[in-house]
Structure 1
Amino acid sequence: MKPLLMDWKDLRFGIEIEFVGGKPESVELLPGWTMAFDERQMDDTGEESGGELQTPPIQWKDRAQIREMLRRLLATGARANWNCGLHVHVGLEFWGEEAIPDFIEAALLHQDSVKYLLQTSEDRLVYCPPVTPEMRDRFISAPGEAALLRRGRPQSHRCGINLAAWFDHKTVEIRYANGTLHYDEVMTTIEFCLRFVAAIGTKRTLSNNPGQLAMEIGAPLTGYPPPIPAPRWYRERLWLENMLVPILTPFANSLVPDSEILQILPRPDGLLVAIEDTDGKVVRYLFQLSANGWRVVGKHPDSCSTQI
């Protein structure tokens, strides 16, 4: 990658704002903005609600749009909770695909500092696992999206610094920020991500100390969305799910070859097991446990969604 000096304010970016509650279908959208109704989040009762508000590609000078859309969203009663995140996509088109190895190296060096600065909640780490040296090696030997995606639990295939986003959006996606609908916290997060990407693009040598890193790139030290602890019942559900996954994985693979278990949810009549195939398609089966062992009752009607 050739170093390319870019003013961070000139970089194009997009954000994904996850939220619960509110009335997403009633929010009037500015041109280019979208509301992902299928990206529902878990509220404090365990029900799915809300959605994901998405910007078009914009620049820092367009930030008034973010303020206005947050105002409209909040007016419907929406809010961010422990299950929500704030994802920032920063365009890499100035550097191109040849820059991906350098950004992988930067992720390996600095992802812990980014996670620390953005105060990623422990309960959200499942959605932003780390980049690994094995990913770098795979990409060098066989460049492509598959090299930059994870398999196995934690059950998110997209890392906290997600360079696989290049192949879909020509961006790097930084997923570490906790959810928020507060304009100042959103903009502080965006500023950090823009400054960080611009610095990596110039091949700057940056400190591994989080505070020193922020000062070197001119980013704020504070003002990011604070972590929100998940309720006890959610943590207990994940503990149980993590114990059940190795037990049910052989059954899942017999139903869907080379698959992974995405989620296990208790139901009055058994366990609803979401199984993801290699193409990202999710199929749900109802499992029951009797004195004779596990049995699959049948496929759940809602079995055609794709993991995003």
Structure 2
Amino acid sequence: MWPKQVMWQELKFGVEIEFVGGAPEQVELLPGWVMSLDELQIDETGAESGSELKPPPIVWEQRDQIRVMLDRLKAQGATANWSCGLHVHVGLERWGQPVLLPIVETAVSMQEALRGLLRTSDHRMLFCPPVTEAMLHRFRSDPKESAIRHRGRPQSHRCGINAAAWFDIGTVEIRYANGSLDYDEVLRTVELCLRFVAAIGAGRRLPNDSGRLAEELGVPAEGYPPPAAPPQWYRERMWLEETLLPVLAPQVLALVKDGEVHHIIPVAEGIMVAVEKPDGSLVRMKFRASATGWERLGEEAAKPNTDE
């Protein structure tokens, strides 16, 4: 049922806490908490590192569980760096599917204000692209998951305001926040997301200005996880990927039916292109530049995709 007034403290939520370092497999978990050991981030050397920690659905009065788990992570030496994000899932069961269209409409009208309030690092926008007008039109005509998901790059399937999460787990996912293991920063982010969803659920129209949005929602205008610049080698890697994508994508996608380019990186032999298959596994192909074009060197067997 929409619209309907619901106190933001009554909404169930979850938070995906990404980090690097530490010893995630050794962290003692509270009941229901999950450590996704295959969800690895990138440390300062470029190596895969850390994990993703997430609670079961909880409500605001249970928030101290987050403090306990953050303390346990930090005791193991974990940190949040430029490669980490903080994703908040807010349950929509109090409204059901009728709230999805208002969420998508709100995203199109003011998503930049929310992104600005959370100060999303520019390099992380690959993982939280905007909801587009075309998506809104598709969803109005045919309200299904595929209408509000991007295609082309697996990392960019999910929008910064990801209403498609409803079809998987009954939530909307807010993906804009930068990574943090600071309890106060995490809690401010969670409260902002809860108040944001409750306002949409109540049928309120929200402003497309970060300062006015904070005032309208009754949240601080500052104090969220700050942006962190990636190292120069990572920026150069992404520039190289963007340059090679239009050149190599047609060649590799012709070899993998319904595949999508996941990432492109330099390797000792030349260039490695990872393509995600529809089942989520990755095929890795290597190429070397020659006088006549790109020479294919070989292919690794498909492996489960552990990147998110």
TM-score by length of 2: 0.96
Please say if residues 40 and 307 of structure 2, whose CA atoms lie closer than 8 Å, have aligned partners that are also in contact. Answer: no
**SS of the residue aligned with 1:15?**
strand
Q: Please list the CA deviations of residues 113-147 of structure 1 after superposition, one character each: whole Å capped at 9, or x if unmatched.
A: 00000010111111110000111111122221111
Partner of 2:144: 144
- Partners of 2:268 and 2:302 in 1: how far apart? 17
Which aligned pairs between 1:16-165 and structure 2 lie closer than 5 A?
16-152=16-152, 155-165=155-165
- Partners of 1:237 and 1:116 in 2: how far apart? 26
Deviation at residue 307 of structure 1 after TM alignment: 6.1
Q: Please list the CA deviations of residues 17-45 of structure 1 after superposition, one character each: whole Å capped at 9, or x if unmatched.
A: 00011100010000000001111001111
Partner of 1:277: 277
Q: Please list the CA deviations of residues 50-101 of structure 1 after superposition, one character each: whole Å capped at 9, or x if unmatched.
A: 0100111000000110000000000110000001000000001111112111
- The root-mean-square deviation of aligned C-alpha atoms, in Å, is 1.5
Deviation at residue 279 of structure 1 after TM alignment: 4.6
Give 5+ residue unaligned stretches, structure 1: none
Q: Does 1:227 align with 2:230?
A: no
Greater Cα offset, 137-146 or 221-230 = 137-146
Deviation at residue 212 of structure 1 after TM alignment: 1.1
Deviation at residue 302 of structure 1 after TM alignment: 5.7
Deviation at residue 206 of structure 1 after TM alignment: 2.1
Deviation at residue 161 of structure 1 after TM alignment: 0.3
- Partners of 1:38 and 1:307 in 2: how far apart? 7
Partner of 2:304: 304
Partner of 2:286: 286
- Partners of 1:100 and 1:82 in 2: how far apart? 31
Deviation at residue 295 of structure 1 after TM alignment: 2.4
Give 5+ residue unaligned stretches, structure 2: none
- Partners of 1:82 and 1:306 in 2: how far apart? 19
**SS of the residue aligned with 1:303?**
strand
- Partners of 1:233 and 1:95 in 2: how far apart? 45
Partner of 1:238: 238
Q: Does 1:2 align with 2:2?
A: yes
Q: Which amino acid aligns with 1:99?
A: V
Please say if residues 126 and 154 of structure 1, whose CA atoms lie closer than 8 Å, have aligned partners that are also in contact. Answer: no
Q: Which amino acid aligns with 1:149?
A: R
- Partners of 2:164 and 2:280 in 1: how far apart? 14
Please say if residues 282 and 307 of structure 1, whose CA atoms lie closer than 8 Å, have aligned partners that are also in contact. Answer: no
Deviation at residue 153 of structure 1 after TM alignment: 5.1
Greater Cα offset, 206-215 or 37-46 = 206-215
**SS of the residue aligned with 1:151?**
coil
Please say if residues 39 and 306 of structure 2, whose CA atoms lie closer than 8 Å, have aligned partners that are also in contact. Answer: no
Please say if residues 282 and 302 of structure 2, whose CA atoms lie closer than 8 Å, have aligned partners that are also in contact. Answer: no
- Partners of 1:302 and 1:277 in 2: how far apart? 8
Q: Please list the CA deviations of residues 169-218 of structure 1 after superposition, one character each: whole Å capped at 9, or x if unmatched.
A: 10000000000000000000000000000001000122222111111111
How many matched pairs? Answer: 308
Please say if residues 21 and 77 of structure 1, whose CA atoms lie closer than 8 Å, have aligned partners that are also in contact. Answer: yes
Greater Cα offset, 152-161 or 33-42 = 152-161
TM-score by length of 1: 0.96
Fraction of identical pairs, as percent: 56
